[in-house]
Amino acid sequence: MKLSKPILELWETDPNIVKFMLAHEIGHAIHGDNNKQIRKDNSVSKWVKNGVIFLSEMRANIEGSSSLNFPSLEMDRIQRILHNENNRLFKESLSTRLPIKLGWMKNIEYSYDDNSNEHLKYLFRRGYPTRKMISVYTDKYKLFDAQVKNDLLDTFYEIIKEEVQTDKDTFKDEVISTFSKYYNG
């Protein structure tokens, strides 16, 4: 991810944010996560791809954070800051796009505590969890096992069920087998 402030400056003012970001990236690196391969596979449906990428993001969050062992309040503080940072960067990127200037597109901004279907769907469509979810799940789970995958995919399916053609069990099975094929999970 990108940050507005240089990493070194952040390291001095708020090192735990940098520690979390590094732990997340190490979580990806350990498994060799790479979205290019799955993106190219036309036999995998769009929503299965999003579900698989969502799992890989949450694995990086859970496995990365478990080594940091931050208290849950500290993790929540870090995710709040990153949520606001993501919003700010999003707005900056929008201000350079003509349709936004002309008012054709809505400038979407959700609050950290907003657990509405609209907010979740907005992120799930990109294969991302909300920052609030990262805080909650890293507190609840220290290992990325079958139980956490099941829990995450239940939440995921509930939000996107109207847009997929398959029933819940079929969807979850397909995501889990594709995840293990492309992400060593």
What separation in angstroms does the CA of 57 have from each of 40, 66, 111, 127, 129? 19, 14, 21, 8, 8
Q: Which two tokens stand for residue 87?
A: 């919003």
Closest CB to Zn ion among residues 60, 164: 60
The residues in 34-93 that bind Zn ion, with binding defined as CB under 5 A, are 57, 60
CB of 31 to Zn ion, least distance (A): 11
CB of 121 to Zn ion, least distance (A): 19
Closest CB to Zn ion among residues 60, 133: 60
Closest CB to Zn ion among residues 60, 82: 60
DSSP structural state of residue 127: T
CB of 98 to Zn ion, least distance (A): 30
Cβ contact 117:125 at 8 Å: no
CA 58 to chain centre: 6
The neighbour count for residue 59, using CB atoms within 10 Å, is 23
Closest CB to Zn ion among residues 137, 164: 137
The residues in 118-157 that bind Zn ion, with binding defined as CB under 5 A, are none
Residues that bind Zn ion (CB under 5 A): 57, 60
